[in-house]
């Protein structure tokens, strides 16, 4: 019995290296899919995957998310602004990931996904001067603007961050502890 009472809790491993690997995986998947689309799908054309719902396209986006600012009178100013914003956002997310990524949480995974997506699109903006978008979704009569793996990772990461804010891990842990305590009392 005393061995059980004096057993120290297992130290948790630092999750930051794994979270950075998740970000790297997003970057690699983003680059690989964009290169594949650029090689296999002609510019401006599409390959239907699910009729009236999902197509693989090949479009170039010189603007921001969902092609905002793409038709700007000053494309160079838009590009410089987007690159600057992306660099600042990437630095901020990397800092947050390093600071709060010691343990696994919805927020730490969200930061990793946002970081990978931001770097993926930043690469395109710096090297190519545009972002390759290729996923086209239509739901009933609504046509979603074309997007890519990096955009998907950023969106999923943002949802995870929002979920962590709405349902903080401490509240979830407390609820689980209360449930476990009730079960022990019943036994």
Catalytic residues: 133, 151
Q: How far is CA 180 from CA 103, 170, 172, 184, 185, in A?
A: 22, 15, 12, 6, 9
Rounded to the nearest 5 degrees, what angle is found at the Cα of 24, between the Cα atoms of 146 and 35? 45
Residue with tokens 């800092």: 95
For the chain, what is the total number of helices (H) and then of strands (E)? 6, 4
Residue with tokens 């022990």: 184
């Amino acid at each position: 019995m005393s061995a059980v009472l004096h057993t120290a809790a297992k130290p948790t491993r630092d999750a930051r290296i794994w979270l950075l690997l998740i970000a790297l995986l997003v970057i690699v998947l983003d680059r690989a899919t964009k290169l594949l689309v650029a090689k296999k799908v002609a510019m401006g054309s599409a390959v239907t995957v699910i009729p009236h719902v999902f197509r693989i396209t090949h479009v170039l986006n010189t603007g921001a998310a969902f092609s905002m600012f793409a038709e700007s009178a000053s494309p160079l100013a838009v590009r410089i602004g987007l690159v600057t914003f992306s660099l600042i956002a990437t630095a901020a997310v990397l800092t947050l990931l390093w600071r709060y990524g010691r343990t696994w949480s919805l927020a730490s995974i969200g930061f990793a996904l946002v970081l990978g997506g931001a770097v993926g699109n930043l690469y395109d903006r710096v090297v190519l001067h545009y972002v390759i978008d290729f996923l086209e979704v239509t739901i009933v009569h609504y046509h979603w603007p074309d997007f890519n793996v990096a955009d998907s990772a950023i969106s999923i990461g943002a949802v995870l961050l929002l979920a962590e804010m709405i349902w903080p891990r401490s509240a979830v842990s407390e609820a689980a502890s209360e449930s476990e305590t009730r079960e022990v009392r019943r036994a």
